[in-house]
Amino acid sequence: MTTRRAIPVWSGALLTSALLVAACGSSPAGTAAVPTTSAAGAPSSQPAGQAASQAASPGSDQAGKSLDNFDPCSVVSDADFVAAITAGAGDPSALGTIKATHAPVDGSNTGLPGAKACSQTWTTTDSAGRVNQGGEPVIVTFDVYSNLAEIQAGSPLINDYQASGAQAFIAPGDGAVPHLTKDGYLFRMSGNSDTALLKAIALGIAARL
């Protein structure tokens, strides 16, 4: 015995109302509907302004950039470095004149084969003309991008760096200095115990990538 499912019967009034709604559409006057695709693949509609505002978040699913011909010092800024040192000083006037310099260093010294690094150092000159070496250097190390998946696994995402378009992850052993990724690059700051200074420099580097 075959069981048939009951088919709803539309009354004349209901059918007329349904046809009118379908003909007129449900979008308010003057609001364009932009077709989008849902996760299941079915088309849907949403206001044009809303669709335009949904910018893609900085992802890590893209191909990594080669470090073979990459100069890690090309993305550092001595001016940013001086500004960050001055901003973090309790009495900036006591520092005197700050002069920053940078130079590439062996990235493999960080224990990361294939990595490339750049170190920023500085000196101060007081009112008497005496030159003093600054504090600990700030080092940016670019790691090979294939290590990103291991860093991301089980590591919390840090939101403090998204303004620069980068994603940051605190991997085991990172402490308060995360790994950052942007546009196929993966890097981390080290060398200095001032985490606020390292963050300021990292934001500048990420903005230049």
Burial of residue 28, with CB atoms counted within 10 A of its CB: 0-12 exposed, 13-18 middle, 19 or more buried:
exposed
What gap in Å lies between CA 100 and CA 79, rounded to an integer?
Answer: 8
Quick one: pLDDT at residue 167? 95
- Token couple for 45: 């509609």
Cβ atoms of residues 80 and 100 within 8 Å: no
CA atoms 95, 206, 174, 189: torsion sign: negative
- pTM equals 0.69
Quick one: pLDDT at residue 62? 65
Quick one: pLDDT at residue 94? 82
First to last CA, the chain: 70
Contacts for 86 with CB less than 8 Å, ≥ 6 apart = 92, 95, 98
Quick one: pLDDT at residue 87? 92
Residue pLDDT, tens place only, 72-125: 999 999 999 999 999 988 888 888 899 999 999 998 887 788 999 999 999 999
Cβ atoms of residues 37 and 43 within 8 Å: yes
What gap in Å lies between CA 118 and CA 142, rounded to an integer?
Answer: 9
Quick one: pLDDT at residue 116? 96
Query: Per-residue pLDDT for the chain (209 aa), expressed as one digit of tens each?
Result: 444 334 333 334 433 333 333 444 444 444 444 334 433 344 433 434 333 333 333 444 568 999 999 999 999 999 999 999 999 888 888 888 999 999 999 988 877 889 999 999 999 998 889 999 999 999 999 999 999 999 999 899 998 999 899 999 998 888 889 999 999 999 999 999 999 999 999 999 999 99
Quick one: pLDDT at residue 20? 35
Contacts for 202 with CB less than 8 Å, ≥ 6 apart = 140, 161, 180, 187, 189
Cα 33–34–37 angle (5° rounding)? Answer: 130
Quick one: pLDDT at residue 66? 94
Quick one: pLDDT at residue 175? 86
Q: How many CB atoms lie within 10 A of CB 100?
A: 20
Q: Name the one residue in this structure whose structure tokens are 């900085």.
A: 58
